[in-house]
Chain A
Amino acid sequence: MSSFTRKGDFWAGLVMAALGVFVVTQAYGWDYMTEDGPGAGFFPLWYGIVMVVLSLLLVAGAVLKEGAKAKTVRWDDMRRAMTCWIAFSVCVGIIKFVGFMLAFGLLIWFIIAIMFGRPQRIALPYAIGGAVGFYALFTLALELQLPVGTLF
């Protein structure tokens, strides 16, 4: 793998450039100027162009910069963070079916037992206590509605 492809700036620049191109092409489809003044495409077209130019500068910087000055992506450091994000996303995904209390309880249990490696005698009471505590605080005390699932 070339050294620049290991740099986060290179990939971030490419993603932002793609977004910029998308913004510009969408903006072309809307009115730039109307009889009443600037149309819906006026503002997005300009910041879209700025986005593309800046992104390409970022990519060029990552490719041309000598040495390892730009930050490289360290996948090992990111593993735990991404695991946490996946757990959070799964929790959000299952809320529709199992409701907030169960989904949130599972998330707490996963973080404590799996990610932090704590024993079940710590993880389970925290998971149950956390879910029940949220229900007591938000639903009973503050009268806010928590997500309800089709099963619970």
Chain B
Amino acid sequence: MDILNGLMQGFSVALTPMNLAMCFLGCLLGTIVGVLPGLGPPATIAMLLPLTFKMDPTGAMIMLAGIYYGAKYGGSTTSILLNVPGESSSVVTCLDGYQMARQGRAGAALGISAIASFVAGTIGTVLLMLVAPPLAKLSLAFSSPEYFALMVLGLAMVVLLAGDSLTKALLAMTFGLWIAGMGTDLFTATSRFTFGQTELLGGIDFVIVAIGIFAVGEVMANMEPEKPLDMLPVPKGLKNLFPTLQDLKDCRFAFMNGSIIGFFIGVLPGAGATISSFLSYGLEKAVSKHPEKFGTGVIEGVAAPEGANNADTAGALVPLLTLGIPGSGTTAILLAALVLWGFKPGPMFIEDSPAMFWGLVASMYIGNVVLLILNLPLVTVFAQLLRMPGYVMYPLILGVSMVGIYTINSSVFQLCLLAVFGLVGYAMRKLDFPTAPLVLGLVLGDSMEKALRQSLMMSQGDLSILFRPIPAVLLSIAAFLLIVPLIKKFNSVRAQVIDKEA
């Protein structure tokens, strides 16, 4: 009953003309950034975040969330027509989507992708609505040691699943912790890592790092010479975009598979949409009557991963809103946005800010309908965006980034920091350092240090406070997650040595 009342309240918030407009704008921008390879939701959300400071926070959150899940819809268009994923989570869609397009079935592939995204996005939102309130109640029992352990576990999972190298992921995380530690220590008023600059006494604004790494770094990476892209045509006419009844029948399991796997993988910090789309594709192939045809253009191979990467976004909002723990770079930026607007994501978030939580949930139902409408008849228009030359897009991104940073507190010094972090972001891309652990380390670093120090103050320096049942379990899982790959690595090195000796 609480959920039903909450949802009614949410629709009364989301259906106001302004919030409907924000939802539409977010979905439109999300589709556009999803279609464009090289411009992702973290960069877009980070760039637009400073511009939302004067807006109503609920409307702004509805728009930013629309960008987040809208990009997942748009990402498939590029995968199907160009064999280049618009988003990392659409990589798997290339396998069968592009093959379908080559066989003249681009319309059916784009259509099933939009339908699967709609079904899974809606089921994911239902699950978010059902899972988040009880989880928030459960986490009310948490205090500083539990939060510290939870944040360590979140970081461990992100580190574990980010990139090929555990060492680089851990280094990126410690770099994020270092940036988070800059400024005045709130416990002792000590200035840390300020290099004598008064501008750094308040620390470095998260938005500067996020825009620098995601937007400026991405533009720099895209400046490198690349081969021209060869795009397959989109069939004209709406009826050519609708899959046949047989196609829909073939995909009925894929819709459910994508929805369930996507949502639950999304809940896990660090796992993310790419892993959920790979898993759902693998499961679809495993249970298929014709697994050998996967990769040659089967429609279930498009429906399952596209569904999964959309349900994932609803799943990722569960730990963000109920525990205040983001699981990816994008949700970390959303967390920062909520904090900047004065909200406190965590166990009390749903009770303290029902209009924001339920308004967001209701807007996601509306957004999924908007995206289905946008992505079916207008896919030809969005596909034309792929012909936009880089020299038009890149200066725009750099300009919006500069304006975004300057509006925070009218400081040219912060623009200089933006340039520095742009270079850092580019270097990380070139050297295969994952960016998600850095962003998470930065977002969680301050809270993590606070939670640890509060825990040790509670226990007068006794570390055994971290070994109460809940933190002990969480920290053990985190340690296990970080140690297992090392053992695996050790074993593979040992096996190689034995092989060589033999």
Q: Is B170 an interface position by the 8 A CB rule?
A: yes
Once bound together, how far apart are the Cα atoms of A100 and B399, in whole Å?
A: 9
Are A37's CB and B457's CB within 8 A?
yes
Are B225's CB and A80's CB within 8 A?
yes
Q: Which residues of B contact A57 (CB under 8 A)?
A: 167
Q: Is the interface of B mostly helix, strand, loop or mixed?
A: helix
Q: Is B248 an interface position by the 8 A CB rule?
A: no
Once bound together, how far apart are the Cα atoms of A31 and B185, in whole Å?
A: 12
Once bound together, how far apart are the Cα atoms of A9 and B428, in whole Å?
A: 11
Chain B, interface size category, equals 35 or more
Are A37's CB and B168's CB within 8 A?
no
Per-residue interface assignment for chain B, residues 213 to 227, with 1 indicating a CB less than 8 Å from any chain A CB and 0 otherwise? 000100111011100
Per-residue interface assignment for chain A, residues 25 to 47, with 1 indicating a CB less than 8 Å from any chain B CB and 0 otherwise? 01000110110111110111001
Q: Which residues of B contact A92 (CB under 8 A)?
A: 402, 412, 415-416, 418-419
Q: How far is the CB of B152 from the nearest CB of chain A, in Å?
A: 12
Are A37's CB and B461's CB within 8 A?
yes
Are B410's CB and A145's CB within 8 A?
yes
Q: Which residues of A contact B491 (CB under 8 A)?
A: none
Once bound together, how far apart are the Cα atoms of A47 and B178, in whole Å?
A: 8
Are B403's CB and A9's CB within 8 A?
no
Per-residue interface assignment for chain B, residues 406 to 445, with 1 indicating a CB less than 8 Å from any chain A CB and 0 otherwise? 1100101001101100110011001111000000000000
The residue on B at minimum CB distance from A33 is B461
Q: Is A68 an interface position by the 8 A CB rule?
A: no
Q: How far is the CB of B429 from the nearest CB of chain A, in Å?
A: 9
Are A85's CB and B431's CB within 8 A?
no
Are A71's CB and B432's CB within 8 A?
yes
Q: Is A78 an interface position by the 8 A CB rule?
A: yes
Q: How many A-B residue pairs have CB under 8 A?
A: 166
A40 in complex: contacting residue of B175, B185, B224, CB < 8 Å: B185
Are B168's CB and A144's CB within 8 A?
no
The residue on B at minimum CB distance from A130 is B395
Contacts of A97-140 to chain B: CB distance below 8 A: 100, 104, 107-108, 111-112, 115-116, 118, 126, 130, 134, 138
Per-residue interface assignment for chain B, residues 382 to 420, with 1 indicating a CB less than 8 Å from any chain A CB and 0 otherwise? 000000011110111011001100110010100110110
Are A37's CB and B456's CB within 8 A?
yes
Once bound together, how far apart are the Cα atoms of A90 and B456, in whole Å?
A: 47
The residue on A at minimum CB distance from B427 is A12
Once bound together, how far apart are the Cα atoms of A58 and B459, in whole Å?
A: 37
Are A77's CB and B457's CB within 8 A?
no
Are B406's CB and A147's CB within 8 A?
yes
Are A26's CB and B192's CB within 8 A?
yes
Q: How far is the CB of B174 from the nearest CB of chain A, in Å?
A: 4
Q: Is B5 an interface position by the 8 A CB rule?
A: no
B171 in complex: contacting residue of A39, A51, A108, A134, CB < 8 Å: A51
Are B394's CB and A111's CB within 8 A?
yes
Q: How far is the CB of A65 from the nearest CB of chain B, in Å?
A: 11
Q: How far is the CB of B280 from the nearest CB of chain A, in Å?
A: 31
Q: Is A14 an interface position by the 8 A CB rule?
A: no
Q: Which residues of A contact B192 (CB under 8 A)?
A: 26, 30, 40, 44
B412 in complex: contacting residue of A8, A26, A96, CB < 8 Å: A96
Q: How far is the CB of B51 from the nearest CB of chain A, in Å?
A: 7
Show 24 residue pairs from A and B whose CB-CB distance is below 8 angstroms, ordered by the A residue.
A12-B433, A19-B175, A36-B457, A38-B453, A39-B187, A40-B187, A47-B177, A48-B178, A51-B174, A51-B175, A51-B178, A78-B224, A85-B426, A88-B419, A91-B402, A92-B415, A93-B416, A104-B395, A107-B399, A115-B223, A116-B389, A116-B390, A130-B396, A147-B415
Q: Which 4 A-B pairs have the closest CB atoms?
A: A37-B457, A40-B190, A116-B391, A81-B220
Taking Cβ atoms with an 8 Å cutoff, the residues of A that contact B are: 8-9, 12, 16, 19-20, 23, 26, 30-31, 33-34, 36-40, 42-44, 47-48, 50-51, 54-55, 57-58, 61, 71, 73, 77-78, 80-85, 88-89, 91-93, 95-96, 100, 104, 107-108, 111-112, 115-116, 118, 126, 130, 134, 138, 142, 144-147
Task: Apart from A43-B181, A147-B406, list 4 A-B contacts with CB within 8 A.
Answer: A37-B461, A38-B457, A38-B461, A116-B391
Taking Cβ atoms with an 8 Å cutoff, the residues of B that contact A are: 51, 167-168, 170-171, 174-175, 177-178, 181, 185, 187-188, 190, 192-193, 216, 219-221, 223-225, 389-392, 394-396, 398-399, 402-403, 406-407, 410, 412, 415-416, 418-419, 422-423, 426-427, 430-433, 449, 452-454, 456-457, 460-461
